[in-house]
Structure 1
Amino acid sequence: MYEDVSRLDRLRSVREWLAWQLRRTDDTIAELERQDVAAARTARTLPPPTPGWKLTMRRAGGKPTPDSVHTSGCGMAGQNTRPLAREQALRAITEDGVPACPYCRPDTDLGVL
């Protein structure tokens, strides 16, 4: 049966199959490019990452004073907090004498021990 098909017909069949494969490849490339554009757009619109540390404040005589340094996920920090960058948290613990939370241990994450 294979011998009944001319060489020209076989080559045309191969060409059709290759054209089909090329269309599929082009469609896949186009889809991946759309995904890259969408990912880049999402990356531009996402909020900046939250700092890894936060500082709890307490009111002493009407003036807020630093109470303790926590990791960003610590549940012991309470409501009155402000975010800290790594350098700020490190300075608060080492230079300013603000104690580290004994539960989340931000000093361990910061390498202060």
Structure 2
Amino acid sequence: MNEREEVSRLDLLRFLERVQERDLARTRNWITAEEQRLAEAAARRPPPPPPDYVVQYGLGRGPAMVHQGFCEPQGARVRAIPANEARRLLNADAGLACRLCRPDTELGLL
């Protein structure tokens, strides 16, 4: 090889960079396609059934209210509980029962 035909190290590195950018773009397209596929699959699945009962917590203190699962109270301080836990909470304090969905009536506490 003479000097005119010799490829510089910088040219080789720039070529490698172009190849890697193309590969990165292709990988990002695959990621986007997979995210879309997963979102479409999730949209086709039915939502999970609501829990039987939920407890809503107050600010800095214990339980504030017990609801039936379909009541869907607003806020982030809500946790699903089984019927025996709801019964225990309502036996300890009947004032915790939601006045709209009446979990105490459903549990036979009234």
- Per the normalisation by structure 1, the TM-score is 0.48
- Per the normalisation by structure 2, the TM-score is 0.49
